[in-house]
A and B are shown apart, each in its own frame.
Chain A
Amino acid sequence: MTKYLARRLLGAIPLVIGIATIVFFAVNLAPGDPTLRFLAPGMNQEVIEQMRANFGLDQPMHIRYVKWLGAMLTGDFGYSFSHSRPVLAVLRDFVPNTLVLSAVALVVAFVLGVLLGTIQAVRQYSKVDSGLSVVLLFFYSMPSFWLALMLILTLSLFARNVWELPIWFPASGMVSTDYEFLSFGAQLRDRFMHLVLPTLSLALVLTAGIARYMRGSMLEVIRQDYIRTAHAKGLSERVVVFKHALRNALIPIITLVGLYIPVLFSGTVFIEYVFAWPGMGRTIYEAILTRDYPLVMAGSFFFAAMVVVANLIADVLYAIVDPRIRYE
């Protein structure tokens, strides 16, 4: 297993470097450069040239590529043009925020999806089954950007101003402006309240997909002989479903983790934008717009690495849930 992991990780290195290289040339060949945002009359060519030199952009692209690659391999990602700080410090600020958001969303989506899918399978063709199917399809076909705006409209704006509910959720940010003055318990609550809308926007769409997969997988498993045997032994329905069937039905679902993590990251770009969540997706998006080359490169490098790791995690989990699978 260790050997396998090591081999997979080593194999990922050229992949990630290759991705970073493609991104390097893509952003550098794109029209415009970081001096563009200073556009103003009176900004003459000499000032622009000096600014480029201060950014280190006065050298030819292939030289910059070699320098950048060399520096990156030693862990130096350079300086962000738009944040005036080392890129690593920028990543350190934003990556945890994105991870919190996507991890919570993933957990919520999986728990809900597995639960709903199981219920649907066990009660196949019942009213519950078809009802859930309709609801899930509704969320599945909804763009998360729009879903996010609808959640803001209902659970924040209408809940507070129209329906005057006791509970409504803040529409943006990670914490309130008076966060520092709250007690520890209130701080936890504050963080939770700020997490609800962005997490739901991300998770609901995923939940729908996972539930569909889970329903199919579960239906297949509960027709197996060993389930009939379990029933015949006189075990209760709950034990049969949750102890014997679920574990086997989960195997194909686990691979979805690996598939969904890239989806999740691209989803966070919109969600972070709508909910003003200071995360990595939004930061890279703005870095692309301002042609902040070092940050774009480091960000895509990070996302590529995350996707590789996520796939690896999925494979490992596969081995854990299914003892028949062994990696050499």
Chain B
Amino acid sequence: MKFIRNVNWALCLLTLVTGTKAQELEVFANLEGGIPFSSSLKDFHEELANQITIESFETTDNFGYNYGFTVGFRFNQNASVFFNNRVSGAKTSVADFSGFIRLTNELSGYTFGLEYEIMFREFDKSKLNLGIKGLVTPSKLTLTSESNIQNEVQSESLEFNSLDFGGALGLNYEYSLGFFTLRAHLDVNIYLGGKLTLEDDDSGGFLTDQNGDKVTTSWTGLAGGLGILIPLSK
């Protein structure tokens, strides 16, 4: 996994360096948000939470959405390389005068992607592109159980990693404002989820649900973003 991560970093840096030598280079940054179609993590969290039989132990977050940001470079207005960081989470907790019990699952995804855009329509100051993305996402799931009952503090965390591969198809809308361009996109991400393996454990074990099925990050879903695009050179 470390090897794949290092390769991706190298590839990203290489693309970035190569891009700077292209004829036209733009940098862009987006704020991202997404809604997963489904997630085995969601079921996993519910299973986990149900094992704790404390009254009013309620789930308030359960991978219902994710958010993050994207930065990247686009070359010649049709090829981009980008880095996307998205987070999502689940939380079940209860608290009263005597303390709290908290169970959280935090999911972070670091996506390295390539996009190729095809102009679909062009307007006066704007245009609409059809984009196709290739995605490699190393994910990290942090499972944390915390409690503080009558000042008796207990905390335990487990970290799981996975490498997810996916692709996306979407529309990019750009509106030029002179110095920079506003940019919005809406994509459908399709991932093949990888196994979530325990960090620092070489036994080959991975996270499964109560049925013995593997639990995946499943970033699959709708993803949208809004940002700016700044040309660096022409």
A and B, one complex?
A: no
